[in-house]
Amino acid sequence: MLTIELDRLALKPGAKILDVGCGEGRHVQHTLRYPGVTAVGLDLGEQEVRVTSQRLDEMRSIDFEMGGAVEDPGPAASIRGSSYDLPFADGEFDCVIISEVMEHLEEDELALAEVSRVLRPGGTLAVSVPREGPEAVCWALSDEYPAPKSVGGHVRIYRDQELPQMLERNGYHIEATHYAHALHAPYWWLKCFFGLENEAAWPVRVYHRLLVWDMMEKPWLTQFTEKLLNPLIGKSVVFYAIKG
């Protein structure tokens, strides 16, 4: 399930891309479908880095026609590190992804400044955060959802123009934006209503099966429905910005 549309990043052979807060490597994995691209996934969690590494190995073992890597992918790796202190040189990357991360960070502007440091002038930043409306529903339904009451929870809701204004203050020009994951918004509303750890609630179980079916089979009905609903209840908002 990709939040960032990598085709928008114009990844060419020789490009270097960094995924900050890569989680279990969903975006880093997908870079192996672009020839000659060097990719690094960085996350603070030891388990996340280990899983990302395993999935990269698995991706390389699968034929391109079956959803695996191209014949000549560039190097890809995962490492542990903090978004506040990236272990890279100034301007080292052509593109940086920071997807569904900034809402977890107390010092989001500090992280953005560090991301900007390692991104070359003219490079592309792809950033996504939870959208204000769907996120506000989660906060209203659950006391467990926001931090600090839950480990790794969300510390803020980004208001409508808050993130684009922050990007512009830091010298970025926003080229494109879109919403994503409309079908996932009701799932999180259900989890917040019935309890984040209550996986036994039948509405949560049934809806989860729907999401798995959608991701694995990609039926036209759910794909069309999500595109239709993204402008209304898309759970994430994505910005593609050029470092000025």
Show the DSSP H helices in 2-106 as ranges.
26-30, 46-60
- Does some domain include residue 37? no
190-200: b or e for each residue (b if 16 or more CB lie within 10 Å)? Answer: bbbbbebeeee
pTM of the model: 0.94
Domain contains 36: no
| Inside any domain, residue 70 | no
**CB neighbour list of residue 115: distance below 8 Å, 6 or more residues apart:** 20, 83, 86, 96, 98, 125
Inside any domain, residue 101: yes
User: How many other C-beta atoms are found inside a 10 Å radius of the C-beta of residue 69?
Assistant: 23
Asked, for residue 73, whether it belongs to a domain, the answer is: no
Could you report how far apart the first and last alpha carbons of the chain are, in Å?
30
Question: What does the alpha-carbon distance between residue 82 and residue 228 come to, in Å, rounded to a whole number?
Answer: 37
Res 151: pLDDT: 58
pLDDT of residue 199: 84
Q: Which pLDDT belongs to residue 145?
A: 87
**Is 119 in contact with 113 (CB distance < 8 Å)?**
no
Residue 64 placed within a domain: no
Which segments of the chain have a pLDDT < 70? 148-151
Report the distance separating Cα 128 and Cα 101, nearest Å: 8
Q: Is 147 exposed, middle or buried (0-12, 13-18, 19+ CB in 10 A)?
A: middle
Q: How many domains does the chain have?
A: 1
pLDDT of residue 67: 87
Instruction: Please indicate, yes or no, if residue 42 is contained in any of the structural domains.
Output: no
Name residues whose C-beta falls within 8 Å of residue 161's C-beta, 6 or more positions apart in sequence. Answer: none
- The one-letter code for the residue type at 149 is K
Q: Which amino acid is at 183?
A: L
Nearest to 28 by CA among 90, 96, 92: 96
Which residue matches tokens 């830091």? 170
Contacts of 14 (CB under 8 A, 6+ apart): 36, 37, 38
* Cα–Cα distance measured from residue 183 to residue 187, given in angstroms and rounded to the nearest whole number: 7
The amino acid that residue 229 corresponds to is L
189 within domain boundaries: yes
Domain with 96, as residue range(s), is 6-21+83-243
- Domain at 132, CATH number: 3.40.50.150
Distance CA 95, CA 10 (A): 10
